[in-house]
Amino acid sequence: MSTLEIKDLQASVLLDDENSKQILKGVNITINSGEVHAIMGPNGSGKSTLASTIAGHPKFRVDSGSVTLDGENVLDMSVDERARAGLFLAMQYPVEIPGVTTSNFLRSAKTAVDGEAPSLRTWTKDVKAVAEQLKMDPAMIQRNVNEGFSGGEKKRMEIMQLELLKPKMALLDETDSGLDVDALRVVSEGVNRAKESNDMGVMLITHYNRILRYIKPDYVHVFNDGRIVEQGGPELAVKLEEEGYDKYVAAAAGR
């Protein structure tokens, strides 16, 4: 049983050497193993900043508040330490890394996260099995990381890593964006498998209700202007789908 606890998190984006802009204005959320928390909100509300700040992207600075995983202070950890502690961020825009093959990358990541190299025989089999379930071309493993991948292939690649690295907590940053219905289903099934096999907690960031038909949320949080403005169960997502974010945006503007 793991718990990711975010308390009064305030953070800014670093614009250049001198300027920064506050994005997160006090976020509180607690995620336990096996729970799916959907974070929904309009574009520019700070959803992705929340995920990137937890993962430790150098572009963001924590101004106050805390993030702990099973009591350990995540904010004190380097990016790689956070991953080894059990956090995983499926990125909205995964980068292409020329010259580094996917197979080499996956093995290095698995070795780092587990603290020992995976057994060669079972590893190759595991990679192949996950690739097949995600309907990925096995030849992709020999290509450089994300190089020349389509948007959908990049998202599958993120979920492939999720399944192989078996984190305690997954942060999914708009994993559904740019996916057609088939790809969305395949990717969602991957997330559900990872959740079942590892009792993983999930923070699912999305703009749309669509992915929630495949990944059932236990809690839905409405995010606007850098904070959570409403919380509820799955029914809240349905309401958002019908009513949109207008009333939250208007409320924030009037504040």
Q: Using CB under 8 A as the criterion, which residues of the chain lie in contact with another protein when the complex forms?
A: 55-58, 78-80, 82-84, 88-89, 91, 94-95, 97-101, 104-105, 108-109, 112-113, 144-145, 161, 165
Shortest Å distance, C-beta 120 to another protein: 19
Shortest Å distance, C-beta 74 to another protein: 13
Contact 247, 238 (CB under 8 A): no
Shortest Å distance, C-beta 245 to another protein: 29
Q: Judged by CB, which is closer to another protein: 55, or 229?
A: 55
Q: Judged by CB, which is closer to another protein: 98, or 148?
A: 98
Q: Judged by CB, which is closer to another protein: 9, or 55?
A: 55
Q: Judged by CB, which is closer to another protein: 62, or 109?
A: 109
Please list, residue by residue across 224-243, b when 16 or more beta carbons sit within 10 angstroms of its beta carbon and e when fewer do. Answer: bbbbbbbeeeeebbeebeee
- What is the spatial distance between Cα 19 and Cα 207, in angstroms, rounded to a whole number? 28
Contact 117, 94 (CB under 8 A): no
**Nearest residue to 212 (alpha-carbon basis) of 200, 220, 222, 201:** 220
Shortest Å distance, C-beta 233 to another protein: 31
Shortest Å distance, C-beta 243 to another protein: 35
- Helix and strand numbers, DSSP H then E, in the chain: 8, 12
Phi-psi region of 235 (alpha: psi -120 to 50; beta: other; left: phi over 0): alpha
- What is the spatial distance between Cα 96 and Cα 87, in angstroms, rounded to a whole number? 21
Q: Judged by CB, which is closer to another protein: 91, or 159?
A: 91
